[in-house]
C-alpha cells in the first residue's frame, strides 16, 4: 500500500494518475503565510456548498489564528474543523476510497497523512411510496438506494439495542456495503455466522443489486425462490421481530430476507394489520390461486383429450361445440394462448406505462376477441388461460410467479402426454421437489413437512392474533415469547 | 452430450404432444352420442344414435345452439350396427356421455339380455345413463322428436325422468347399472320407465315443431314396465307405478287423493320411511311392511271445516286406509297378474333365510311369491294445510258460513 507523500503537488499528480485524469477530480491549493494546504475532492459525489461555505471557511479561520504554531497545523485542523465525520488516513487506497464516497481530503505540506472530511452530496431520491408492494393498510414509506437511510428506516421502527447491523463489503470494484440486520437475542446466531461466511467468500468484481447475491446464498437448483426481497421497511421489521435476518445492500431498495419458506409467499406481512377473519379469506384465495394456476390448464387438457367422462354432459357438449373448427390440438392451443399472455406481460414490464393502453388494446381486443372469432382458438381455452394467468399473479413476489409459470408448463406437458395420470405424476414430482428443498437448514415446506402443530395457528390460516403468543419454533429457539396478553372481558 | 440429451427430450416430448397416444381424442373429432335407440326388424338390430354436437351454427358457440342429428345403422349385433354408422359419420362415435337409451318394446319382451352386454362391457360408457322403454312406437322415433325446453331430445328425456321420479314417482330414473344389478340379483325383478309419443314423427323431427307454442308432437312419460327376469310382461297403472316407486324407495315425494263426502282432497306426501321385514313362521313366508310419511294438503275443492280436529283425524285415517289399500292392491297385482317380484321381497328372504330360499329359488316368482302374506302398516302425519288455515270460503267469510 502506497503511503501518502509529503509534497502536496506530488499527491495531486498521483491521484490524477490513478484515476486517469478523470474530469471530476478537483484540487485547490491555499497558500498563506508559510503554510500550504491542499484540498482534494471529487466534484461528482461531493457538495460544493459544503466545501466552500463551511470547510474552506473554517480552514481559513484556523490559518489566520496565530495561536496555532507551525508544527501543530495538522493537529489544529483535525481538532477544529466544523464537521461531524473526520478521519486521519495515511494510504492512497484509503484516500481514494474516501474521495469516491464524497469525502474531501485536506493535505498539509510536509505531512505524510491526510484529513478526510465528509462533504457528501445527496445523490438519492427521497423516501417514496413503494410501487412494487402496495397494501391498503400500513405504512407507505419504502426503502431507497441509500443504505444509511434504509438503516434509519429500520432503526426508527425497532428501538432496541439488540438490533445489530453487521457491516461487510463485497465486490472488488464496486466495494458494495452490505449490512446484516438481525435481533441478536432472537435470531439464530449460527445462521447469522453461516450467512456472513457465505457473503465473505464472494469474490466478484461488482454487486449492483441485492439480486446479485441470491445465487451465492442458495446452493440448490430450483425455480422456487428461497429468498424473499422486499422494499417495505415495515415488512422487514416484521420479519426481524420473527427472528429472521435481513440483508441490506447499498444502492438498492430491495432488502433480502432469510430464511424464506414456501409459506412466506402465501402470507403477506400486511396480513397482520387486518382482522384475521378477513385475512383468512384472502389467504384461502391465495392458496386456491396457487393450485388453480398450476393445475387448471393441465386438467383441462387431460380431461378434454383423455378423460372426457369426468365432466357433466352439458359442459362437455358446450366445450365440444366451441372446439368445432379449431385447427390446433388442445395442448397447442393452450400453450399458444399462454405464451401470448406471457408476451403481453413481458411487454408491460419493459414498456413505459404510457404505452400500457396500447398493449391492452392489442392484447385484449385484437388477440383475444379476434382469435376467437377467427376460429383459431376456442372461447373456453381463452377462459382457462385467463383464469390461470390471473390466479398466477396473486403472488406479489415475482420469483414465485415465474416459478409457478415453469411448473405450469411441466404440468401441461405431462397432461398432454398421459392425461389425468400425467397430472398426478407431475403433482408427485412437484411435491417431491418441494420437499427436497431447504433454506439454511430449514425444510422449505415447514411447518407442513415436518409438521409443527403449534405453528399451524399462522400457517394456512391465521388464528386470532391475541392467541398467537410465541415466535415460530423453527426460526428461533431462544426468546420465544412475543406476546403477554390475557383476554380481558 | 448434454445438448444431445436435451434435444432428444425435446423431440420426444413434442412428438408425443403432436401425435396421438393411447386413448387420446381431440374433441372436434368426436361425435358425442347422447341418445341411443335400439329397435329390431325380423332378424337385424336397428340402432339410432343421437349426436349432440353435429354442427356449429355460424359463429355462435353456445350450447343451446348445438344441433342434433340421428344416424341409423343395422347389424346382426349392436356393435355391428355401430360399425355401420361409423361409415356414415365423419367423426368417431363416443358413448361416454350417453344420457338415455331407448329400447323397443318388442326387444324388451323377448331378449333384453342380448343387447345389454355391449353397454356394460364398453369401458367408454359411464353406466349412469337412463334406460327407457318406447311404448307403441319405434324407439328411434323417440330420439328424433325435438324438444322445446331442452337443447336436445335425450337431455329432455333424462331431465323429465329425473324430475318425475323425484317429485311424483310415476316414472323412475333407473340408471343402467342399477337396472343390470336388479336383473342379476336373486329375488329382484327390474322395472323400467316407459315413454310415449303423441302426434306424428314427421311433424316432431322438424325444427318447426319447436317454433310453435303448441308443438304438435310431444314426448310423454308413461307408467312402469314390469319384468320377470329379462322379459317384459306388461305395464301397470299410474297409481300402481306410484306405489311401486314408493315401496322401492325410488321417490322422495308423491301425491295421493281421497274422496271425503263431497270433497276431493289431494295430499302431497313426503319424508317416506319404509321398513320391509321378512319373517318365516312354520315355513310360511310373511312380509311386514310399514310405511311412515308426512302429508300436506295440496288442494281441497269444497267447503269443510278444517279446524275441527275430528275432521282432520278422520281425513288422516281415510288417507292411511287409502294408501294401505293401494299398497295391498299393487302387491296383489304383481303377485297374481304378473307373478313377478319387483319389490325384491325374495332378496330379503334370500338374505335372512338362505336355506329356505335356495329350495324354492327356481320357482320363486311363478309360485312362491304369490303365497307371501302381507302385513302392511301405514302411518301418516298430516302436518300442514299449506298457506291456508281453512278452505277458501271459510277464510273469506268467517267460520259461520256453511
- Of the candidates A318, A430, A287, A468, the one whose C-alpha atom is nearest the C-alpha of residue A380 is A318
> Chain B contact for A320, CB < 8 A?
yes
Q: Is the dihedral of CA B69, B72, B73, B78 positive or negative?
A: positive
Residue of B97, B98, B158, B161 to mutate when probing chain A, most A C-beta within 10 A:
B97
Please judge whether A306 and B124 are an interchain contact, meaning their C-beta atoms are less than 8 angstroms apart: no
Over residues A73-84, the mean pLDDT reads 80
Query: Do B323 and B378 form a contact (C-beta atoms < 8 A)?
Result: yes
Please judge whether B63 and A318 are an interchain contact, meaning their C-beta atoms are less than 8 angstroms apart: yes
The rounded distance, in Å, linking the Cα atoms of A399 and A394 is 12
For B275, list phi and psi in degrees, rounded to 5: -120, 130
CA distances from B143 to A191, A338, B196 (A): 74, 41, 11
Over residues A125-131, the mean pLDDT reads 86
- Give me the residues of B, 97-136, that contact A with CB < 8 A: 97, 99, 124, 126
- Give me the residues of A, 392-421, that contact B with CB < 8 A: 413, 416-419
Q: What is the pLDDT of residues B46-93, one digit of tens each?
A: 999 998 875 554 444 444 455 778 899 999 999 999 999 988 888 888
Write the DSSP symbol of residue B175. B
- Residues 6 or more apart whose CB falls under 8 angstroms from that of A183 comprise A158, A160, A162, A163, A164, A240, A241, A243
Q: Which helix or strand (DSSP H or E) is residue B395 part of?
A: helix B392-397
Question: Could you give the 3-state DSSP secondary structure of residue B128?
Answer: coil
Write the DSSP symbol of residue B28. G
Closest Cα in chain A to B14: A413
The rounded distance, in Å, linking the Cα atoms of B125 and A327 is 27
The two beta strands, A25-32 and A35-42, are: antiparallel
Closest Cα in chain A to B65: A321
Query: Do A329 and B52 form a contact (C-beta atoms < 8 A)?
Result: no
Q: Which helix or strand (DSSP H or E) is residue B192 part of?
A: strand B191-198
The two beta strands, B130-134 and B100-104, are: parallel
Please judge whether B155 and A419 are an interchain contact, meaning their C-beta atoms are less than 8 angstroms apart: no
Q: Distance from CA of residue B90 to its chain's centroid? A: 33
Question: Is the backbone peptide bond immediately before A221 cis, with ω within 30 degrees of 0?
Answer: no
Please judge whether B28 and A325 are an interchain contact, meaning their C-beta atoms are less than 8 angstroms apart: yes
Q: What is the pLDDT of residues B263-298, one digit of tens each?
A: 889 999 999 999 999 998 888 899 999 999 999 988
CA quadruple A361, A367, A369, A373: dihedral, nearest 10: 150
CA quadruple B390, B393, B396, B398: dihedral, nearest 10: -70
User: Could you count the other beta carbons within 10 Å of the beta carbon of residue A93?
Assistant: 12
Over residues B248-261, the mean pLDDT reads 89
Contacts of A317 in chain B (CB under 8 A): 32, 34, 52-53, 63, 66, 97, 152
Size of interface A-B (CB pairs under 8 A): 85
The overall average pLDDT reported for chain B is: 85
Q: What is the pLDDT of residues A291-340, one digit of tens each?
A: 999 999 999 999 998 888 888 888 888 888 888 888 888 999 999 999 98
The rounded distance, in Å, linking the Cα atoms of B48 and A414 is 38
B266 Cα to chain A: minimum distance (Å): 36
Closest Cα in chain A to B25: A305
For A222, list phi and psi in degrees, rounded to 5: -165, 150
With bands split at pLDDT 50, 70 and 90, how would you rate the model's confidence at A219? confident
So what's the pLDDT on residue A478? 79
With bands split at pLDDT 50, 70 and 90, how would you rate the model's confidence at B103? very high
Q: Which among A320, A325, A326 has the least Cβ separation from residue B30?
A: A320
- Residues 6 or more apart whose CB falls under 8 angstroms from that of A307 comprise A419, A420
Closest Cα in chain A to B27: A320
The rounded distance, in Å, linking the Cα atoms of A456 and A416 is 37
Q: Which residues pair with B231 in a beta bridge?
A: B228
CA quadruple B235, B240, B246, B251: dihedral, nearest 10: 60
The rounded distance, in Å, linking the Cα atoms of B35 and B49 is 6
Q: What is the pLDDT of residues A402-450, one digit of tens each?
A: 999 999 999 998 898 888 888 999 999 999 999 999 888 899 998 898 8
Over residues B177-183, the mean pLDDT reads 90
CA distances from A476 to A102, A179, A182, A377, A482 (A): 40, 21, 12, 53, 12
Query: Do B45 and B81 form a contact (C-beta atoms < 8 A)?
Result: yes
Over residues A14-30, the mean pLDDT reads 85
Please judge whether B63 and A317 are an interchain contact, meaning their C-beta atoms are less than 8 angstroms apart: yes
Question: Is the backbone peptide bond immediately before A259 cis, with ω within 30 degrees of 0?
Answer: yes
Over residues A237-257, the mean pLDDT reads 92
**What's the predicted TM-score (pTM) here?**
0.82
Q: Poorest-confidence range of A67-71, A482-486, B5-9, B164-168?
A: A67-71
Contacts of B18 in chain A (CB under 8 A): 329, 332
Tell me what percent of the residues of chain A surpass a pLDDT of 70.
98
Closest Cα in chain B to A370: B59
Contacts of B97 in chain A (CB under 8 A): 308-309, 313, 316-317
Please judge whether B17 and A331 are an interchain contact, meaning their C-beta atoms are less than 8 angstroms apart: yes
Burial environment of residue B310 by CB neighbours within 10 A (0 to 12, 13 to 18, 19 or more): exposed
CA quadruple A456, A457, A460, A463: dihedral, nearest 10: 160
Q: Is the dihedral of CA A182, A185, A191, A192 positive or negative?
A: positive
The rounded distance, in Å, linking the Cα atoms of B295 and B291 is 12
So what's the pLDDT on residue B64? 46
Q: Rounded to 5 degrees, what angle do the CA atoms A218, A223, A229 make?
A: 60
B250 Cα to chain A: minimum distance (Å): 23
Q: Helices A330-350 & A379-392, crossing angle to 10 degrees?
A: 50
Instruction: Give me the sheet containing A176-183, strands edge to edge.
Output: A163-170, A176-183, A245-249, A255-258, A228-230
Q: What is the pLDDT of residues A83-109, one digit of tens each?
A: 778 888 888 888 888 888 888 888 888
Query: Do A52 and A43 form a contact (C-beta atoms < 8 A)?
Result: no
So what's the pLDDT on residue A38? 87
Name the residue with higher pLDDT: A384 or A268.
A384
Contacts of A416 in chain B (CB under 8 A): 16-17
- Residues 6 or more apart whose CB falls under 8 angstroms from that of B174 comprise B130, B131, B182, B190, B191, B192, B193, B250
Per-residue H/E/C for chain A: CCECCCCHHHHHHHHHHHCCCCCCEEEEEEEECCEEEEEEEECCCECHHHHHHHHHHHHHHHHHCCCCCHHHHHHHHHHHCCCCCEEEECEHHHHHHHHHCCEEEEEECCCCCEEEEECECCCCCCCCECCCCCCCCCCCECCCCCHHHHHHHHHCCCCCCCEEEEEEEECCCCCEEEEEEEECCCCCHHHHHHHHHHHHHCCCCCCCCHHHHHHHHCCCCCCCCCCEEECCHHHHHHHHHHCCEEEEECCCCCEEEECCCHHHHHCCHHHHHCCHHHHHHHHHHHHHHHHHHHHHHHHHHHHHHCCHHHCCHHHHHHHHHHHCCCCCCHHHHHHHHHHHHHHHHHHHHHCCHHHHHHHHHHHHHHHHHHHHHCCCCCHHHHHHHHHHHHHHCCCCCHHHHHHHHHHHHHHHHHHHHHHHHHHHHHHHHHHHHHHHCEECCEECCCCCCCCCCHHHHECCCECCHHHCCECCCCCCCCCCECCCCCCCC
With bands split at pLDDT 50, 70 and 90, how would you rate the model's confidence at B18? low
Contacts of A314 in chain B (CB under 8 A): 63, 155
Contacts of A383 in chain B (CB under 8 A): none
- Give me the residues of A, 215-254, that contact B with CB < 8 A: none
A332 Cα to chain B: minimum distance (Å): 8
Contacts of A332 in chain B (CB under 8 A): 17-18
Closest Cα in chain A to B98: A313
Please judge whether B24 and A373 are an interchain contact, meaning their C-beta atoms are less than 8 angstroms apart: no
Please judge whether A308 and B30 are an interchain contact, meaning their C-beta atoms are less than 8 angstroms apart: yes
The rounded distance, in Å, linking the Cα atoms of B198 and B189 is 29
Amino acid at each position: 500500500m502506497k503511503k501518502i507523500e509529503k509534497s502536496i503537488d506530488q499527491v495531486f499528480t498521483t491521484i490524477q494518475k490513478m484515476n486517469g485524469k478523470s474530469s471530476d477530480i478537483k484540487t485547490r491549493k491555499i497558500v498563506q503565510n508559510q503554510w500550504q494546504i491542499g484540498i482534494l475532492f471529487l466534484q461528482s459525489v461531493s457538495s460544493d456548498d459544503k466545501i466552500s461555505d463551511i470547510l474552506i471557511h473554517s480552514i481559513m479561520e484556523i490559518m489566520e489564528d496565530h495561536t496555532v504554531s507551525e508544527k501543530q497545523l495538522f493537529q489544529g485542523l483535525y481538532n477544529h474543523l466544523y464537521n461531524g465525520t473526520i478521519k486521519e488516513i495515511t494510504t492512497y487506497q484509503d484516500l481514494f476510497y474516501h474521495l469516491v464516497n464524497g469525502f474531501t481530503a485536506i493535505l498539509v505540506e510536509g505531512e505524510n497523512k491526510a484529513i478526510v472530511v465528509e462533504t457528501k452530496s445527496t445523490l438519492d431520491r427521497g423516501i417514496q411510496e413503494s410501487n412494487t408492494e402496495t397494501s391498503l393498510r400500513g405504512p407507505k414509506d419504502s426503502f431507497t438506494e441509500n443504505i444509511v437511510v434504509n438503516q434509519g428506516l429500520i432503526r426508527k421502527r425497532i428501538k432496541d439495542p439488540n438490533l445489530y447491523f453487521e457491516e461487510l463489503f463485497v465486490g472488488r470494484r464496486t466495494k458494495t456495503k452490505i449490512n446484516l440486520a438481525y435481533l441478536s437475542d432472537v435470531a439464530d446466531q449460527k445462521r447469522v455466522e453461516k450467512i456472513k461466511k457465505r457473503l465473505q467468500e464472494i469474490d466478484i468484481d461488482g454487486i449492483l443489486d441485492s439480486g446479485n447475491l441470491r445465487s451465492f446464498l442458495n446452493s440448490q437448483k430450483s425455480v422456487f425462490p428461497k429468498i424473499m426481497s422486499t422494499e417495505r421497511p415495515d415488512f422487514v421489521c416484521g420479519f426481524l421481530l420473527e427472528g429472521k435476518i435481513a440483508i441490506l445492500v447499498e444502492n438498492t431498495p430491495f432488502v433480502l430476507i432469510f430464511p424464506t419458506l414456501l409459506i412466506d409467499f402465501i402470507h403477506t406481512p400486511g396480513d397482520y394489520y387486518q382482522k384475521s377473519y378477513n385475512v383468512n379469506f384472502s389467504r384461502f384465495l391465495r392458496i386456491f390461486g396457487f393450485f388453480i394456476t398450476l393445475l387448471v390448464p393441465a386438467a383441462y387438457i387431460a380431461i378434454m383429450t383423455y378423460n372426457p367422462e369426468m365432466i357433466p354432459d352439458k359442459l362437455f357438449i358446450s366445450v365440444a361445440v366451441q372446439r368445432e373448427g379449431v385447427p390446433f390440438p388442445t395442448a397447442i392451443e393452450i400453450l399458444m394462448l399462454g405464451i401470448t399472455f406471457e408476451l403481453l406481460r413481458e411487454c408491460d414490464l419493459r414498456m413505459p406505462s404510457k404505452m400500457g393502453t396500447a398493449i391492452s388494446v392489442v392484447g385484449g381486443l385484437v388477440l383475444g376477441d379476434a382469435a376467437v372469432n377467427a376460429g383459431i382458438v376456442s372461447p373456453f381455452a381463452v377462459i382457462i388461460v385467463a383464469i390461470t394467468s390471473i390466479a398466477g399473479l396473486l403472488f406479489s413476489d415475482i420469483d414465485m410467479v415465474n416459478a409457478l409459470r415453469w411448473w405450469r408448463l411441466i404440468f401441461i406437458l405431462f397432461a398432454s402426454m398421459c392425461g389425468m395420470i400425467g397430472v398426478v405424476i407431475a403433482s408427485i414430482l412437484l411435491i417431491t421437489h418441494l420437499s427436497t428443498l431447504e433454506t439454511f437448514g430449514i425444510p422449505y415446506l415447514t411447518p407442513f413437512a415436518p409438521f409443527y402443530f403449534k405453528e399451524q395457528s399462522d400457517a394456512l390460516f391465521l388464528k386470532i392474533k391475541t392467541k398467537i403468543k410465541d415466535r415460530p419454533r423453527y426460526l428461533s429457539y431462544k426468546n420465544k415469547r412475543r406476546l403477554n396478553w390475557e383476554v380481558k372481558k | 452430450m448434454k445438448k444431445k440429451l436435451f434435444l432428444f427430450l425435446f423431440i420426444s416430448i413434442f412428438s408425443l404432444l403432436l401425435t396421438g397416444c393411447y386413448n387420446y381424442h381431440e374433441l372436434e373429432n368426436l361425435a358425442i352420442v347422447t341418445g341411443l335407440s335400439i329397435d329390431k326388424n325380423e332378424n337385424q338390430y336397428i340402432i339410432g344414435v343421437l349426436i349432440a354436437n353435429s354442427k356449429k351454427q355460424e359463429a355462435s358457440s353456445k350450447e343451446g345452439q348445438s344441433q342434433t342429428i340421428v344416424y341409423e345403422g343395422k347389424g346382426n349385433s349392436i356393435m355391428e350396427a355401430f360399425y355401420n354408422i361409423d361409415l356414415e359419420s365423419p367423426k368417431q362415435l363416443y358413448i361416454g356421455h350417453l344420457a338415455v337409451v331407448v329400447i323397443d318394446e318388442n326387444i324388451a319382451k323377448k331378449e333384453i339380455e342380448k343387447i345389454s352386454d355391449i353397454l356394460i362391457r364398453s369401458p367408454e360408457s359411464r353406466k349412469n345413463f337412463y334406460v327407457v322403454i318406447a311404448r307403441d312406437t319405434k324407439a328411434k322415433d323417440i330420439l328424433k322428436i325435438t324438444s322445446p325446453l331442452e337443447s336436445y331430445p335425450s337431455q329432455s328425456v333424462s331431465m323429465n325422468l329425473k324430475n318425475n321420479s323425484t317429485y311424483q314417482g310415476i316414472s323412475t330414473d333407473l340408471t343402467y347399472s342399477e337396472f343390470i344389478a336388479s336383473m342379476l340379483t336373486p329375488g329382484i325383478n327390474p322395472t323400467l320407465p316407459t315413454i310415449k309419443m303423441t302426434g306424428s314423427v314427421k311433424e316432431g323431427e322438424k325444427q318447426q315443431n319447436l317454433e310453435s307454442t303448441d308443438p304438435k308432437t310431444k314426448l310423454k312419460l308413461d307408467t312402469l314396465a314390469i319384468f320377470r327376469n329379462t322379459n317384459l310382461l306388461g305395464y301397470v297403472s299410474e297409481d300402481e307405478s306410484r306405489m311401486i316407486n314408493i315401496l322401492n324407495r325410488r321417490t322422495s315425494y308423491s301425491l295421493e287423493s281421497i274422496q271425503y263426502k263431497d270433497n276431493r282432497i289431494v295430499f302431497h306426501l313426503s319424508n317416506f320411511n319404509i321398513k320391509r321385514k321378512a319373517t318365516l313362521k312354520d315355513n310360511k313366508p310373511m312380509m311386514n311392511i310399514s310405511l311412515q310419511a308426512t302429508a300436506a294438503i295440496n288442494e281441497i275443492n269444497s267447503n269443510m271445516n278444517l279446524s275441527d280436529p275430528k275432521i282432520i283425524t278422520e281425513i288422516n285415517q281415510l288417507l292411511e286406509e287409502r294408501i294401505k289399500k293401494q299398497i295391498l292392491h299393487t302387491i296383489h297385482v304383481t303377485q297374481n297378474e304378473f307373478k313377478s317380484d319387483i319389490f325384491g321381497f325374495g332378496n330379503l328372504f334370500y338374505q335372512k333365510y338362505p336355506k329356505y330360499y335356495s329350495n324354492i329359488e327356481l320357482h320363486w316368482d311363478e309360485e312362491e311369491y304369490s303365497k307371501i302374506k302381507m302385513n302392511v302398516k301405514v302411518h301418516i302425519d298430516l302436518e300442514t294445510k299449506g298457506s291456508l288455515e281453512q278452505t277458501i270460503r271459510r277464510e273469506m267469510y268467517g267460520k259461520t258460513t256453511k
